Amino acid sequence: MTVEEIRVSSQWLDLREPADAAGRARDLVERVRRQLPPTGRRVIHDLACGSGSMGRWLAPLLPGPQLWVMHDRDGDLLDVAAANPPGPAADGADVIVELRRSDITQLRPEDLADASLITASALLDLMSGAQLAGLVDLCAGAGCPVMLTLSVVGRVAIEPADPLDTRVAAAFDAHQRRMTAGGRLLGPDAVAAATERFRRLGADVLLRASPWRLRAGEADLAAEWFSGWLGAACEQQLELTDEADAYARRRLAQARAGELAVTVDHADLLVLP
Ligand SMILES: C[S@@+](CC[C@H](N)C(=O)[O-])C[C@H]1O[C@@H](n2cnc3c(N)ncnc32)[C@H](O)[C@@H]1O
């Protein structure tokens, strides 16, 4: 069983990287630092790394030599990750990258046996319940900290408000929870499902908010996010299509004029073994 094959463009990941970095829960990094081995090379497995933004954000905040093993099934995104490796560690130590093209739902415990830390970002909500359960069990079995960031939680606030917002938000959430060949996707339920399963396995789970707050300075990202959000909602609920054109014109004009403020709530999890 594989996660539904949705391809993510490197342009989209590039556009969202600064908002991702601003939203990530920085205080969890201090907890990670305390859990890392005091000496030697830290091996960090980044699951579904995309173009490598997690490594570019986190590696310079962690001390000591690091090997980032970046896993993704998309070879084009791995090429982008290889071309933009993370900078040096917080203390100037070397950070090196190894790329692995793989389906992360098929990883075996031995693939992560050397992990000092496992990370994943913007992944959990794309998984089905069975896939997430497998991932949680795999990560818990590795016996190291696990940082799972930027999962959507189904809360979006747009200002100024528009009468269509609530219906579009509900249709988008239903689209996130749609049935696929690999099972029903968890969408906004993924964070609760992962937290519950890790806790049942005896792990300590820290949960933090990691919202995107898009204002006038992020007009391009707000417009791109909005188009994807509305497109998914219309795919889910065809009746919305009639009203969608006028709604999109209103909202995109507001985004271009810097008058649109969007908050997309996400959550970060740090799991301590
Ligand atoms: C929304 S992107 C996030 C990428 C990156 N982690 C980030 O935060 O920028 C989701 C990524 O998950 C990858 N992906 C989804 N399912 C996967 C699977 N089963 N195995 C490997 N990669 C997967 C996609 O190729 C894509 O790069």
Confidence category of residue 63, pLDDT binned at 50, 70, 90: very high
Residue 236 near residue 134 (C-beta atoms within 8 A): no
Q: Each residue of 16-29: pLDDT tens digit?
A: 999 999 999 999 99
Distance CA 45, CA 43 (A): 7
| Ligand 1, atom nearest to 16 Cα | 9
Residue 146 near residue 58 (C-beta atoms within 8 A): no
Confidence category of residue 1, pLDDT binned at 50, 70, 90: very low
Residues having CB within 6 Å of any atom of ligand 1: 2-3, 8, 13, 48-50, 53-54, 72-74, 77, 103-105, 121-123, 126
Residue 100 has pLDDT above 70, yes or no: yes
pLDDT at 5: 67
Residue 135 near residue 201 (C-beta atoms within 8 A): no
Distance CA 250, CA 268 (A): 32
| Ligand 1, atom nearest to 123 Cα | 10
Residue 90 has pLDDT above 70, yes or no: yes
Residue 7 has pLDDT above 90, yes or no: no
Instruction: Please name the residue that has the structure tokens 């690091």.
Output: 66
Residue 258 alpha carbon to ligand 1 centre in Å: 30
Distance CA 129, CA 150 (A): 18
| Ligand 1, atom nearest to 77 Cα | 27
Phi, psi values for residue 207, rounded to 5°? -120, 130
